[in-house]
Each structure stands twice: as structure tokens, then as C-alpha cells.
Amino acid sequence: MKIAKESRYVTIARLLRPRGNRGELVAENLNSETSEAQDDSLKNFLKLDTVFFWDSNQQRQETAIEQAWVHRGRLILKLRGVDSIGAAERLRNINLQIPQEYLEPAPDNGYYFEDLIGCVVHDIEDGHLIGLVEEILEPGGPLLLQVKMDNHEVLIPFVKDICVEIALGEKTIRVRMPDGLESLNS
């Protein structure tokens, strides 16, 4: 893979924890998780000959995906050079990235989380405008949408019960805000 110097990198997965004793890792696939998109997404992971760890020292380290499969609804990755539980443990909560120019088109009915940036967020109950997605935050739990409007910021957990409709064609996300969440962020 020839990478341009000025490449922008996109996080495609977060390595969550070791699985097994041969260095396999449970990973969070950072594209939509519709069942129709999961098979296409898995094929895309297997096509990647080079991926990068983005570590806590903000350094990129090159590796490759040797195997990828889904087990009990979770993405499992076997990476080159990661051959033990200890090696896998050192990668806990590390992001896996690729240069944006090598990102496959999103699977049918799917999207990448990068696609959510710039979406307008509305409350599904009363339709009021909450703001614009400016960033996707990865605090270690569920992803958070950083939504801003004027000087107001709201952090919205990116979970199905809250983010109930995503219309990328319209660049719109409709949310069902839990009581007090919007005022909590004020």
C-alpha cells in the first residue's frame, strides 16, 4: 500500500481485549452494525493488507490483518506479529486505522462513523434542533456524538436506543433524548 504523506487516517475498529491464547483480539467494528452490512464489512477487513495501530503515544505502527471473523456477534481479528495473550493485552483499547483513500465504500445500508460528522441532530419526539455533529469521541465506553449549536455542546451516546434514525443522504440523525441528558450537558 503506497501512502501519501498528507494522508488523513480513519479509525475502522477499536481493539477491545484479548480472546484466546494465540493473540486474537475482540474488536469493535466502527461502521454500522446492521446484519446486512456485517458480511460486507467483514470482507472489507479481509481485503486490507496494511492497517495501523494508533497507540497511546500517538504513534502509528504498521501491521496486517491475518484473519477476521465474527463470533457471537463480535468481530475477532488476528493481527500479524500478535501471537500471545500478552501481546494482545498490550493492544487493549488501541484504535486500528487506515489511510482515508483506502477506505472501501460503506456496505449497503451501512456507514462509517466518519460519515456522521456534519449531520444535523433533531429530537425525534418534538423535532427541535439539537445541533450539528462535530466529532465522534471514543472515551472507552459507548462512542459519543459531540453535538454543538452556537455556544452549547451536548454529548450524546451513540447507541440504538438514543440514535434511532440515521439518514446519511439527508445528513440527519434523529434522537430520542433520555430525560435530563440535554440539560446535563448545558
User: What domain range is 173 assigned to?
Assistant: 117-184
Count Cβ neighbours within 10 Å for each residue of 50-72 and write b for 16 or more, e otherwise.
ebbbbeeeeeeeebebeebeeee
Domain end marker among 69, 102, 135: 102
Say whether 121 sits in a helix, a strand or coil: strand
Whichever domain contains 57, its CATH number is: 2.40.30.60
Q: Does one domain contain both 37 and 94?
A: yes
> Which residues, 6+ apart, have CB-to-CB distance to 39 below 8 Å?
107
Q: Is the model's pLDDT at 140 over the cut of 70?
A: no
Q: How confident is the model at residue 25 (pLDDT cuts 50, 70, 90)?
A: very high
Q: Does one domain contain both 52 and 91?
A: yes
Q: What is the pLDDT of residues 148-158, one digit of tens each?
A: 988 888 899 88
How many domains would you assign to the chain?
2
Does residue 42 lie in a domain region?
Answer: yes
pTM flag (> 0.85) = no
Q: How far apart are the C-alpha atoms of 78 and 163, rounded to whole Å?
A: 31
Domain end marker among 43, 78, 102: 102
Q: What is the pLDDT of residues 37-93, one digit of tens each?
A: 455 566 667 677 788 887 667 778 888 888 888 888 788 999 999 999 999 999 988
Q: How many helices (H) and strands (E) does the chain have?
A: 3, 13
Looking at residue 31, the DSSP 8-state letter turns out to be B
Q: Does one domain contain both 80 and 161?
A: no
